[in-house]
Each structure stands twice: as C-alpha cells, then as structure tokens.
Amino acid sequence: MLNGGSADGAARAEAEYITVLAPATATLERRRSIFHGDIAPVGSEDEAWAFLESIKARYEGARHFVYAWVTGRRAGYVTSRYSDAGEPRGTAGQPVLNVLSKNEITDAIIVVTRFFGGILLGRGGLTRAYSAAAAAALQAAEPVIMLPYILLNVLLPYAWLEKLNYQIEQTVWQLQEVLYGSDVTLKIQVPSAEAEQALSLIEEWTNGQAIGELTEITEYLPLPLAKAGRELNFDNESEGNYE
C-alpha cells in the first residue's frame, strides 16, 4: 500500500525552470570582428556583475562587452538587465536578452565580447552577430530543465526489484539509493507534479506489494532538454542565418 498524504504541501506547487549548470564559451568571426559569447549560471545580480567583471579581465583590450541576464527565479522574483555597451542602441543587448527570454532561460548571464576588426557591420549585421554569438554560447552550455523533486521511499520484496528498476529507467525519475534488508528499500526522486501518479504506477507495477510514502523533502534536479522532448529556439540567431 502506498501513502501519498505527506506530498500535499507548498513544495509540490513549485514550478520548473530552465537554466545552465556550468559556464560555456563560443567564438564567432564576422568580417574580421571576433565575438566571444560567454554564458554562466548566476543566482543574483551581484553574481552577474562579478561574472561580467571577470570577462572584462579575461578579454582585456576588447572594444565592447555586451551583456544580458535574467536572475532571481529561485528567490521568488525575476530581474532582467542588458546593455549595448557602446554599440548602436538596440543592436546588441536586446538581441542577446532575446536569446535568453525566447528559450525561457533564467538564473543565467550571457556576455558577448567584441574585438573590432575594422569593418563596420551595420545595424542588421551587428544584431545578427550578437544574436548568433549568444545562441552559440547557449547551445554550448547545454541547458537543462530544473524540476522540483520529492523523495519517494518504497519498501518491496526482492522478487519485484528487477521489474521496478526497469520501469524506473523508462521515466525521468531518479533512483537515489537502494537499501538492502529483509526487504529492499528504494529511495526515488520523482517530479513533484507526478507524485500522486508515481504512487499509483508503483502500486500497479508491483501488484500492490510495495509499501511507500512521499516525504516532505523537495529539491531541484536537472533534466536534459532532449529527455524532456524540448528544443532550443534560435529562430534567426543561428550561425547559418548570418548574412
């Protein structure tokens, strides 16, 4: 018998969000100008400013440090900021922010650093170049969906362990720990939105032989976009669409 009583809490109402887990870099060349796109996870505006300063130190001598970020998702509010960094208004910062916003990326910053190559790109060329550099950086970072998970404790006879393990592998659930005793206990992280369904499925898969409960513990765990059946949206930001 499976008990889902403790799953009814504010934690289960938490929403998923998309972000990056580690910094990444991509470099493009446009008519002799070099564009370095750098992306990183940031949890606050202070972290975003610090990352921007680190990029300025890394690319000393560059002419423009265009940035955009979205922060505050975990803190309960969202703040976005961008700068054209000396480029013509609307040609740089907003296109970089668009790459984040159209892909619903939060708690992340993109800085596109330009080393001027001596040839003017025009407003359209600048927009496409900054967009392409930001998109390349985002793609290199391999964003993930952060899902709120609840810990599910399941006690079952050994005879059902292999079948339940197989079923878990077909889902986005994450098997955290296996404890062996007179019976076997599985500690499974399940998306909070699927908590009640998980209880029903486990009962079905084990013919009612499992004893389990949902705990109050909730944390965010990453799920690759591809596994969630989602793709990045670049529209005209991809490198091939630059003219």
> What's the CATH class of domain 2-15+146-224?
alpha beta
Q: Look up residue 233 and give its DSSP letter.
A: -
pLDDT tens digit at each of 243 positions of the chain: 444 433 333 333 357 889 999 999 999 998 888 999 999 999 899 999 999 999 999 999 898 999 999 998 766 678 899 999 989 999 999 999 999 999 999 999 999 999 988 787 888 888 999 999 999 999 999 999 988 888 989 999 999 999 998 998 888 888 888 999 989 999 988 888 888 889 889 998 998 898 888 886 667 888 888 877 788 887 655 444 433
Q: What does the block give as tokens for 136?
A: 């390349």
Residue 9, pLDDT score:
33
3-state per-residue secondary structure call for 98-163: HHHHHCCECCEEEEEEEECCCCCCHHHHHHHHHHHHHHHHHHHHCCEEEEEEEEEEEEECHHHHHH
Contacts of 155 (CB under 8 A, 6+ apart): 183, 184, 185, 210, 211, 212
- pTM recorded for the entire structure: 0.75
Q: Tell me the three state secondary structure of residue 1.
A: coil
Residue 227, pLDDT score:
77
Q: Tell me the three state secondary structure of residue 34.
A: strand
Residue 92, pLDDT score:
94
Contacts of 7 (CB under 8 A, 6+ apart): 150, 192, 195, 196, 214
Residue 237, pLDDT score:
52
Q: What does the block give as tokens for 184?
A: 């076997």
Domain boundaries, the chain: 2-15+146-224, 21-142
Give the domain 21-142 fold.
Ribosomal Protein S5; domain 2 (3.30.230)
Residue 144, pLDDT score:
92
- Distances from the Cα of 238 to the Cα of 106, 115, 116, 130, angstroms: 20, 20, 21, 10
Q: Which of 111, 116, 117 is nearest to 137 (CA)?
A: 111
